Amino acid sequence: MSYVKSLKCRECGRTYPKKPIYVCEWCFGPLEVVYDYGKIKKVLTKEKIFSREKNLWRYKELLPIDGEPTVGLHSGFTPLFEAKNLEKVFGVRKIFIKDDSVNHPTLSFKDRVVAVALSKAKEFGFKMVACASTGNLANAVASHSRSAGFNCYVFIPANLEKSKIISSLIYGVNLIAVDGNYDDVNRLCGEIASKYKWAFVNVNLRPYYAEGSKTYGFEIVEQLNWRVPQHIIIPAASGSLLTKIYKAFKEFEQLGFIKKLNTKFHIAQASGCSPIVSALKEKSEIIKPVKPNTIAKSLAIGNPADGIYAIDIVKKTRGFGEVATDEEIVEGIKLLAETEGIFTETAGGVTVAVCKKLIESKKIPKDEEIIISITGNGLKTQEAVENKIGRPIKIKPNMAEFEKFLKKGA
């Protein structure tokens, strides 16, 4: 049973049938999935969702597949918890962490989008799946391609962190390391996608793929017991995640699952790659691409596809945009680890650092409630913190040596 009506151009509104396409033929705007909410409203209730297994497919009517899901059956439904220690450090009333650093199976929010994209790729009958990635997506496509039985090519910028490279290669897929930055990889993949009949999850399947990010937002609402937070801080590379969390809240509002969407959406980028936040701050109509130079490689997209839409939402919800320097990113990673015991990757460091700045600058009032979006795992970006943390204390295996250290250290 499908609840998808069609694809629709976000710019000119022309509609298209459900196919592996992503660009409006007329004006070249991006295509978006449109649902029949009237039909969904008749079949989907909070109780029904609650009765289902704890994975992202519990919201399947709001995801763009025609049949039953086939990929990522254990992905999603990651923890949302109150960060009491971080609240004390920041001096605010309430902070929640939505923690996709433990998403199944590849430890980032990309398991969500890939679950949806590869389920759709199966429906379309593709044999080969591919992606352009800053690392996390490559890991997710590589992993899910194996369990789902696809052939797989992943394309990455050559300078990625070692862990992100190994976490793709381990699955025995074809990993193409392109001499260039993500935007070069992306452009190449656009050209490859027009020549080869492959399912590029974030090119020709992007309208479907991106919908998977909505489940991050659905889960937040459900885990808050069917309400939205006052503030949410979201890291941005292409800007897609932010737009889809907004869409998720909107859809739940439309279905009557929440009363009113009154969340302020804040956008976090690294200062070494902040085309979206810069355009927001400069009140610019266009987003000027940048050449990324930041340790937050997972956010290093200089030409963000959904940047203008992300800006629209931040403005509409009266949120803010802020950036974090490399030093602040490392501090953010360490702070989250030392207060909440969560080791996040560089993107998480950006989000924590930006949260701190928004509170300090009083853009987020201290008596309000904030969600910090943690989208990836620190084990994948160890290089970023390697030389900025303590060292092991080396001793001989006897009590005397240990107590010598204790006296000295304490």
Interface with other proteins by CB under 8 A: which residues?
11, 22-30, 132, 182-183, 186-187, 189-191, 194, 200, 202-203, 206, 237-240, 286, 288-289, 301, 303-306, 308
Minimum CB separation from other proteins for residue 22, in Å?
6
Sole residue written with tokens 């298209």: 16
Q: Which is nearer to other proteins, 215 or 240 (CB)?
A: 240
Place of tokens 């509002």: 253
Interatomic CA distance for residues 151 and 198, integer angstroms: 10
Nearer to other proteins by C-beta: 21 or 169?
Answer: 21
Choose between 119 and 303: whose C-beta lies nearer to other proteins.
Answer: 303
Is 150 or 182 the residue whose CB approaches other proteins more closely? 182
Please, what sign has the CA dihedral across residues 281, 183, 17, 210? negative
Q: Please state the closest distance from residue 5 (CB atom) to other proteins, in A.
A: 21
Rounded Cα gap, residues 212 and 100, in angstroms: 13
Nearest-10 crossing angle of helices 240-254, 214-223: 50
CA separation for the pair 126, 392 (Å, rounded): 49
Q: Beta-strand (E) ranges in 196-274?
A: 199-200, 231-235, 264-270
Closest contact distance (angstroms) between CB of 163 and other proteins is 21
- Residue 233, phi then psi, degrees to nearest 5: -110, 125
Distance of alpha carbon 352 from alpha carbon 358, whole angstroms: 10
Question: Considering beta carbons, is residue 132 or 220 the nearer one to other proteins?
Answer: 132
* Closer by beta carbon to other proteins, 27 or else 406: 27
Largest CA distance in the chain: 78
Q: Do the Cβ atoms of 313 and 242 come closer than 8 Å?
A: yes
Shortest separation between residue 285's beta carbon and other proteins, angstroms? 8
Which is closer to other proteins, CB of 28 or CB of 405? 28
> Cα(171)–Cα(169) distance, rounded to whole angstroms?
5
Q: Buried (b) or exposed (e) across 251-287, using 16+ Cβ within 10 A? A: bbbebebbeebebbbbbbbbbbbbbbbbbbeeeeeeb
Smallest distance, other proteins to C-beta of residue 1, A = 28
Closest approach, Cβ 286 to other proteins, in A, equals 6
Q: How far is the CB of 13 from other proteins (least distance, A)?
A: 14
* Minimal distance, residue 304 CB to other proteins, in Å: 6
Q: Which is nearer to other proteins, 145 or 202 (CB)?
A: 202
DSSP 8-state symbol, 181: -
Give whichever of 113 and 324 is closer to other proteins, judged by the CB atom. Answer: 113
Handedness of CA 378, 383, 389, 393 (dihedral sign): positive
> What are the E-state strand segments in 182-288?
199-200, 231-235, 264-270
Smallest distance, other proteins to C-beta of residue 206, A: 5
